Structure 1
Amino acid sequence: MNIQFFPLTELSNNLGLFSSRDKIYSMIQKSIKDKTQKDHGLEHALKFIHLKKSAYNEGVFEIHKDHFDLHITLKGVDKMCFGMKEAPINDYQPEGDYQLLKGEIKDMLEIKEGHAVLIPVNCSHANHLSDNGRKLVVKINRSLWQR
């Protein structure tokens, strides 16, 4: 699967590769509206994280093995960097589903307000949220992916 970049108006369509698409979409809409930050149903296959800043460190990327990342920019701009030539900084952390890598920027997208990017598992990425920015990150367990 490739990285998908799209406006929020196309969110429902871009969730079509997951089972329970309508429920996921509804829960995302509720999280955006209520600004809730907690684990939700679907047997804890979704996690919602609201952020107002990012801990960007140039040349440091993360990967996830069990979750897709859906980054939704609610205010400002989120610069999403994708890595290459990575070397592990730490061992994979299964309890947080992440591994940090040191590498070079291969590609960068500016995710403007009202847009989103869906990042597949094992795709190295880092982000830098603009000052006064706000975003929602939805972790979607790979068990919901319809291949």
Structure 2
Amino acid sequence: MALVFRLETVNFKKIRSIAKVAGTMVTIGGAMVMTLYKGPVVEIFHAHGHHAAQQTSSESADQHWVLGTLMLLGSIVGWSGFFILQSFTLKKYPAELSLTALICISGTVEGSIVTLIMERDFSVWVIGWDSRLLAAVYTVSSENIC
């Protein structure tokens, strides 16, 4: 997408351009392998009812792998479009920290609204000593790194 909008140039005589193209191909190839590979389910966190969860998740994965692949591709296109839009915005509005704060606030508000609409059970907002806490800590730490 960056090539289409002339934000990037590719010169195959330079190692930098070759690395960008190779990195893009490896990333897209890895994402496609992860979505199209139909192997055994890998459990990272073992839950109670292990066998029932594995059977349900494998049946669900068999039914929706095409939809999941399309959603992943849409996510990749949307994410790259966001970066292109951000680069155009930064050319006209050079206050990077203000723009970052605005993006984070609008993402928080949007995510909260979608969650309130989609989730009828308010217990999903409770953070306990499980993967929900890990997800919250990871989100906060990854935002601080950027």
Give the shorter-chain TM-score range.
under 0.3
Q: Identify, as 1 or 2, the structure richer in strand.
A: 1
TM-score between the two structures when normalised by the length of structure 2: 0.28
**Which of structures 1 and 2 has the bigger CA Rg?**
2
**Larger relative CO (CA 8 A, sep 6+): 1 or 2?**
1
